[in-house]
Amino acid sequence: MKLDYSPAELAPRRSARRSVILASACVAVLSIVAVHESIATRSSTLQEAAGTEVAAAFNSGTEQAFDRALQSAASDTLAAPSASEWTTVVVRKGQTLSDIFDKEDLGSSDALAIVALGGDARKLQSLRTGDKLSYRKTDDDSLDELHYEFDESHTLQVRRTDNGFEALTIEAEIEHRQAATSGVITSSLFAAAQKAGLSNRLVMELADIFGYDIDFALDLRDGDHFSVVYEQLYKNGQMLRDGDIAAAEFVTQGRTYRAMRYVDGNGNATYYTPDGDSLRKAFIRTPVDFARISSGFSLGRLHPILNVIRAHKGVDYAAATGTPVHATADGKVEFAGVKNGYGNVIMLQHGSQYETVYGHLSRFRPGLRSGASVRQGQIIGYVGMTGLATAPHLHYEFRVNGMHKNPMTVGLPRANPLPRSVVAQWRSSNAQVLAQLESTSAQARVASAGGSSATTAAPGNPPPPALGSN
């Protein structure tokens, strides 16, 4: 506040005028104290300081000093009332932003005003069950600020201003760290992987990578071992989740399989050997994940129901009723229905040469019908015991030009290799990954020879360089 004065003509009137101004200043200070009783200590200090400065200026005999002291007292602002502590709300099924605002006494009109801001604020119109909203109120119980983390790297921040609400989106940096672990098979892949610290998702990814070469229900032996180099994603120093496998090795029955991740220009990820050969084949070996082989391919097996010697021209996978069954290759549904001893059966045609059969199913995938196209790995049905079956299992056959072949030993064609023009650069950018895989693999070999079940790399080590993507 700037006060403007005219020079006094007479000394007595000047002295009287100063007295009036001094009195007015004191009244102003006392008024400020009365308005801000909640911060009385701060106001008392200000009053004392203001009185001292004004008195000193009065005694100095100069109006300029007096003016400066009075303005300083008036402009020394008090602390604004602070907002409340943060409250976090977890969105329940079917809740809308207005529902939450009403429940938290924030006012549905504010909810409408925030959504009307547009941009990322519109995401508040489609809240998902489990989403979290954090807010705090002003002293008069109005919404002061709202935070909504709509994905792991973006947070919407809404603040109240003098002109209404404003919204902005903060993008957090996601840090990619490299981790490695290894394990030795003593009972099952899942047991060894769990002991090695791998999540279920990474175990499934590991099985998918090597699923074209390894039948995890039939091929594994005690002492087989694996090594994995993978990403861990961090935000603000806190781990969010595991990322993707960057490189892996699996040693089973003396055979070594290695894979590295390659990401093309469109963001599509595929795994190749370090030399650039594709790990993907036109067919996967196993249509059921981690099932047990209950009966193999045989031309002279005693049928368990008919009690006669009868060729078993497929492989039986024992699994619980309802276990998903996957198509082992891209193809078309030639037949889906009930047929003789197969019970519920699906027959897929893969080009002009190959055919696969999936029998004893409990049910088919909804919507599956003859003539429909299926993709490799897609669920087509579920394990059961329809037809001539004594227990829940899948009967799987593989035919080449109408002739039955052993699904476990038949040669499977591979997909195209990585272009040689990019292999050298790809290997160079993943040199750190390959070195880490080699080191972890050496630990696994030692552990396997010594009978240990798993070795893991400590996650608390300083983060190494970021993983290369191609």
Give the count of domains, the chain: 4
What pLDDT sits at residue 296?
A: 63
What is the DSSP secondary-structure string of 232-267? EEEETTEEEEEEEEEEEEEEETTEEEEEEEEE-TTS
For residue 49, tell me if it sits in a domain: yes
For residue 462, being part of any structural domain is answered with: no
Is residue 225, in this structure, part of any structural domain at all?
yes
* 117: CATH: 3.10.450.350
**Same domain as 190, residue 117:** no
pTM above 0.75, yes or no: no
Query: Would 315 be classed as within a structural domain?
Result: yes
The residue from 55, 75, 95 where one domain ends is: 75
Residue 379's pLDDT is: 96
Give the span between the Cα atoms of 216 and 401, in whole angstroms.
27
Q: Is residue 415 part of a domain?
A: no
Same domain, 252 and 148: no
Task: Please measure the distance between the N-terminal and C-terminal CA atoms of the chain and give it in whole angstroms.
Answer: 65
Shared-domain flag, residues 309 and 401: yes
Q: 329 and 257, same structural domain? A: no
pLDDT of residue 72: 54
- Regarding whether 296 and 394 lie in a shared domain, the answer is yes
Element (DSSP H or E) covering residue 83: none
In a domain, 204, yes or no: yes
Same domain, 215 and 138: no
Asked if residue 326 and residue 261 are part of one domain, the reply reads no
Supply the pLDDT for residue 62: 53
Domain shared by 104 and 153, yes or no: yes
Length of the chain: 470
What pLDDT, on a 0 to 100 scale, did the predictor assign at position 307?
55
> Domain containing 377 — which CATH number?
2.70.70.10
Buried-state track 356-365, b at ≥16 Cβ within 10 A, e below 16: bbbbbbbebb
Tell me whether residue 6 is in a domain. Answer: no
The pLDDT, as a whole number, for residue 19 is 47
Same domain, 214 and 309: no
Q: What is the pLDDT of residue 407?
A: 87
Based on the domain organization, do 191 and 126 belong to the same domain? no
- Residue 71's pLDDT is 55
Q: Is 226 domain-assigned?
A: yes
Residue 220 has what pLDDT? 87
DSSP string across 90-140: EPPTT--HHHHHHHTTS-HHHHHHHHTT-GGGGGGGG--TT-EEEEEE-TT
Regarding whether 401 and 435 lie in a shared domain, the answer is no
The last residue of one of the domains, among 147, 171, 195, is 171
Q: Give the pLDDT means over successive 10-residue stretches in the chain (470 positions).
A: 40 45 48 45 46 49 53 48 77 91 88 91 91 90 90 90 91 90 91 91 91 82 94 89 94 93 88 90 83 65 51 86 94 94 95 93 95 93 93 93 88 82 91 93 86 47 38
* Helices 63-75 and 40-60, axial angle in degrees (round to 10): 170
> What is the pLDDT at residue 255?
92
User: Which of 75, 109, 126 delimits the end of a domain?
Assistant: 75
Q: Identify the domain containing residue 48 by its residue range.
A: 11-75
**Do 45 and 123 belong to one domain?**
no
Name the 3-class secondary structure at 406: coil
